Chains A and B, each alone.
Chain A
Amino acid sequence: MDDARITALALRAREGDRTAAGEFVAATQHQVWRLLGHLADPGVAEELAQETYERALGSLRRYRGDAPARSWLLSIARRVAADHLRRRARRPVAPAEPAEDDRPLGRAPQPDPAESAAVRDALAALDADRREAFVLTQLIGLSYEDAAAVCRCPIGTIRSRVARARADLVDALGEPGAQRRSG
């Protein structure tokens, strides 16, 4: 679903259209969840995604539609992740007990099955800023401009972070089997 449509849904949801609100969540929740899995960690991604939507929908009335709703939402998700990491840093030993009853369909919070463990580990090992830039542009599919809006940094910063993330990934994953058929 494209950004214009998502923004239109958000604006309708702001006017009290619950169906549009549901569609807005349905259209974006996978990306939000995926982003949070990378910015925080997969075990809490679901919980944080829920928190993200509670914050976003709660303040939807103040959303004016002058930035794409997806970027607006992802920037809230980013803040939720940052708050989570700060909380966790403050009290390091706080094993969040899994709320079984919160889990519909009995699905355990699992990391994205389609990403190989090696790639996931390599991503997790990246510097946080680089990982964020890489995930936003490559896995979520934002343009550099939108990613810069989400991170509130210049586009050039996104650009260099993505490049460095790529360099780190190349180093970490190495491509031993890559055919060198140059020339």
Chain B
Amino acid sequence: MTGNSGRPRGDQQGMAGSSDCDVCREAVSAALDGEAGAAESARVDAHLAGCAACRAWRRDAEAVTRRARTGVVVGGPDLVDRVVGAAPGLRARWWGVTARAGLAAAGLAQAVLGLVGLLGAATHAGHGDDPLVLLGAGMAHAAHESAAWNLALGVAFVAGAIWSRHLAGLMPVLGAFIAVLAVLSGVDLVAGRVEPARVAAHLVLVAGFLLGLAVVRTTPRPGAGPSPGARWRSRPTEHGAAPEGLRAAAPTGWERESDVA
């Protein structure tokens, strides 16, 4: 103890409120763990200087803690071989990498198809009047729309392979598009309105969709599962104990309302 040597029993005078001692002991406990601030430690010292009971308590608490900690502890089962099988295997990783590479490739192929379509539409548009106009758009513009859409999907695939966290949001759109396109392609094939090669090009889309699903499955999902994140830190007080705003927030002196369990 700093300072006051020999104050055998003058400390009891004034019956230093036992709640003072409770508050002090909590701070002493924190100080033993290196979790008390400097200002708080100074207040603790001031109280300890005048309270033999708390000084004794500190010694006892220190001793008890030391006994409980018991230095180096050996023993315990070795679980490594039994549980390591539950860990994600290398296959999972390989699969994830492969799926992303495949998705990027599908994206590039899709972008090339879009560009080819764009060029084809451009040369076609040079031939003057469009014989067929549908819903306000000539064949040339319909081809432009289709090419733009194909190009966009290619870009989306490549971007999804790189920033896979955003990929999940694309899947419903893509799924719906592929489903509708599949039905229409079937109808058009039967009616002879489209060449099989053109329909076959749609398979790139299907491949991209499936690879996208695979990538989504192998990517850690934000917010899912027991991954403890920031929300831990921001939780307000739960039951019981007052959140004595440690360190800085503690008001002057030891005033604080009673602190019973």
Contacts and interface: CB of A to CB of B under 8 A. Distances in A.
Contacts of A152: 232, 235, 238
Given A115-B68, A159-B26, A29 B77 contact: yes
Interface stretch (B101-109, B118-126, B135-143, B221-229): B221-229
Contacts of B227: 62-64, 66-67, 72
> Chain A's interface: helix, strand, loop or mixed, by majority?
helix
Interface in B163-217: none
B6 A59 contact: no
Contact of A173 (B52, B67, B77, B79): B67
A62 B92 contact: no
A161 B35 CA distance: 14
B57 interface: yes
A78 to B, nearest CB: 11
> Chain B's interface: helix, strand, loop or mixed, by majority?
loop
Interface string B82-116: 11101111111110000000000000000000000
Contacts of A15: 88, 93
A33 B83 CA distance: 14
A156 B244 contact: yes
Contacts of B14: none
B88 A33 contact: no
A16 interface: yes
A50 B83 contact: yes
14 contacts: A21-B87, A26-B78, A50-B79, A62-B221, A67-B232, A109-B77, A114-B74, A119-B70, A139-B69, A144-B246, A149-B233, A154-B236, A162-B33, A183-B5
Interface of A: 13-18, 21-22, 25-26, 29-30, 33-34, 46, 49-50, 53-54, 57-64, 66-67, 71-72, 75-76, 79, 103-105, 107, 109-110, 112-116, 119, 123, 127, 129, 134, 137-139, 143-144, 148-149, 152-157, 159-164, 166-167, 169-170, 173-175, 178, 180, 182-183
- In the A-B complex, the 6 residue pairs with the smallest Cβ-Cβ separation, listed nearest first, are A16-B93, A62-B225, A21-B87, A163-B29, A53-B83, A163-B26
